[in-house]
Amino acid sequence: MRPVRIAIFASGTGSNAMALVAKAQELSKEKIEIAFILSDKPAAPVLEKAKNAGVRTYLVEKKADRKAHEAEVLSLLHEYHVDWIFLAGYMRLLSADFIQHFRQWHEGAEQIVNIHPSLLPAYPGVDSIARAFSDSVKESGVTLHLVDEGMDTGRILVQEIVCRSQDSTLPAWTQQFHEVEHRLYSQFLENVALGRQPTVYFKETP
Strand partners, 5: 33
Q: According to the binding rule CB under 6 A, does residue 143 interact with ligand GRF?
A: no
Instruction: Encode 86-105: b = buried (16+ Cβ within 10 Å), e = exposed.
Output: bbbbbebebeeebbebbeeb
Shorter beta-carbon distance to ligand GRF: residue 102 or 185:
185
Q: Which is nearer to ligand GRF, 169 or 205 (CB)?
A: 169
Residues in Cβ contact with 61 at an 8 Å cutoff, skipping those fewer than 6 apart = 40, 41, 42, 69
Q: Is 155 left (phi over 0), alpha (psi -120 to 50) or beta?
A: beta
**List of residues 6+ apart from 133 with CB closer than 8 A:** 164, 170, 173
Q: Is 16 an interacting residue with respect to ligand GRF (CB under 6 A)?
A: yes
Task: Say how far apart CA 163 and CA 114 lie, in whole Å.
Answer: 21
Restricted to residues 110-139, the positions that interact with ligand GRF (CB under 6 A) are: 115-117
* Closest separation in Å from C-beta 136 to ligand GRF: 20
Q: Is 116 a catalytic residue?
A: yes
# residues contacting ligand GRF (CB under 6 A): 13
Instruction: Spot the catalytic one: 69, 116, 145, 182.
Output: 116
Closest contact distance (angstroms) between CB of 13 and ligand GRF is: 4
Contact string (CB under 6 A) for ligand GRF, positions 66-105, x = contact: ----------------------xx----------------
Cite the active site residues: 116
